[in-house]
């Protein structure tokens, strides 16, 4: 793990329509009129143009937490507590849980992914989501994240097995940046090159993740968005700032 604190960008993904498994009426009654967002933690804000879905751990427990009088966030209790100590909640140090939801029930929820070329995306299950990292919500960018790509391909191969509607996994990876070594789709390129068969190939995926991250960071150029033509290194900071300014992102550390 990293030595110092990890600086993430929290991405606010507004709930557009809850999955059929969530008793939306009962939940609404607990929200006090607040708008609900799934909040994902990412190290690669510059790739958010390429979000195609979002992942939650199907066997993890999530809370709906009051951030202020207008907004509520879906994340792990641990993340909500961290947020409360980072000045993200209205009352410092205080975590107010409005409801609890199992990850498996959030799957199928339609959300709005900020900055994405496909703004309406669905929540899908990912077994490898860790309960003690970030918010427990992972936004999916299959063009640049080998884990996201491998998981999306697994889900597409066996939708019945994963209890998903194929429609939820139907958005294809969207190129957002170019690298000299891997072209404009680093993750699919590396998954093929390292002969990764599924999201269970953890060792090769760790290698692919490392390669994609380094090549993107040091040699990547943006091909879409406000900072098109700029280096990934420059765009990373600027996209983050832009998301924060527009109220769809926040600094989150742990």
Q: What does the binding site for ligand A2H look like in residue numbers (CB under 6 A)? A: 6, 41-44, 47, 128-130, 133-134, 136, 138-141, 144-145, 148, 209, 213
Residue placing its CB nearer to ligand A2H in the complex, 103 or 108? 103
Q: Is the dihedral of CA 140, 146, 149, 153 positive or negative?
A: negative
Whose CB is nearest to ligand A2H? Answer: 134
249 closest CA partner among 59, 81, 7: 7
Nearest distance from C-beta of residue 34 to ligand A2H, angstroms: 24
Nearest distance from C-beta of residue 205 to ligand A2H, angstroms: 10
Nearest distance from C-beta of residue 110 to ligand A2H, angstroms: 19
Residue placing its CB nearer to ligand A2H in the complex, 34 or 169? 169
Residues 6+ positions from 83 with CB-CB distance below 8 Å: 10, 65, 67, 73, 75, 89, 252
Nearest distance from C-beta of residue 141 to ligand A2H, angstroms: 4
Residue placing its CB nearer to ligand A2H in the complex, 96 or 133? 133
Residue placing its CB nearer to ligand A2H in the complex, 34 or 46? 46
Strand extents, DSSP E, the chain: 7-17, 35-42, 53-56, 61-66, 71-75, 96-102, 110-112, 120-125, 137-140, 177-178, 221-222, 249-253
Residues 6+ positions from 164 with CB-CB distance below 8 Å: 107, 108, 124, 125, 155
Residue placing its CB nearer to ligand A2H in the complex, 23 or 228? 228
Nearest distance from C-beta of residue 133 to ligand A2H, angstroms: 4
Residue placing its CB nearer to ligand A2H in the complex, 28 or 254? 254
**Euclidean distance between CA atoms 28 and 78, whole angstroms:** 23
**Euclidean distance between CA atoms 154 and 162, whole angstroms:** 9
113 closest CA partner among 212, 23, 25, 47: 47
Nearest distance from C-beta of residue 91 to ligand A2H, angstroms: 25
């Amino acid at each position: 793990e990293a030595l110092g604190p990890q600086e993430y960008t929290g991405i606010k993904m507004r709930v557009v329509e809850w999955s059929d498994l969530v008793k939306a009426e009962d939940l609404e009654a607990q929200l006090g009129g607040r708008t609900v967002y799934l909040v994902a933690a990412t190290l690669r804000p510059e790739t958010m143009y390429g979000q195609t879905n979002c992942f939650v751990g199907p066997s993890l427990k999530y809370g709906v937490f009051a951030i202020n009088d207008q907004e509520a966030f879906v994340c792990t209790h641990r993340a909500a507590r961290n947020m409360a100590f980072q000045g993200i909640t209205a009352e410092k140090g205080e975590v107010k849980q409005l409801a609890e939801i199992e990850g498996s029930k959030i799957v199928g929820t339609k959300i709005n992914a900020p900055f994405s070329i496909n703004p309406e995306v669905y929540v899908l299950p990912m077994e490898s989501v860790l309960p003690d990292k970030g918010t427990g919500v992972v936004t999916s960018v299959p063009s640049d994240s080998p884990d996201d790509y491998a998981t999306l391909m697994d889900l597409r191969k066996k939708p019945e097995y994963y209890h998903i509607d194929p429609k939820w996994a139907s958005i294809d990876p969207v190129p957002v940046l170019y690298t000299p070594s891997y072209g404009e789709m680093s993750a699919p390129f590396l998954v093929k090159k390292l002969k990764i068969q599924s999201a269970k190939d953890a060792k090769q995926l760790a290698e692919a993740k490392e390669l994609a991250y380094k090549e993107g960071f040091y040699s990547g150029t943006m091909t879409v968005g406000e900072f098109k033509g700029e280096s990934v290194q420059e765009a990373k900071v600027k996209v983050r700032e832009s998301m924060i300014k527009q109220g769809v992102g926040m600094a989150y550390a742990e």
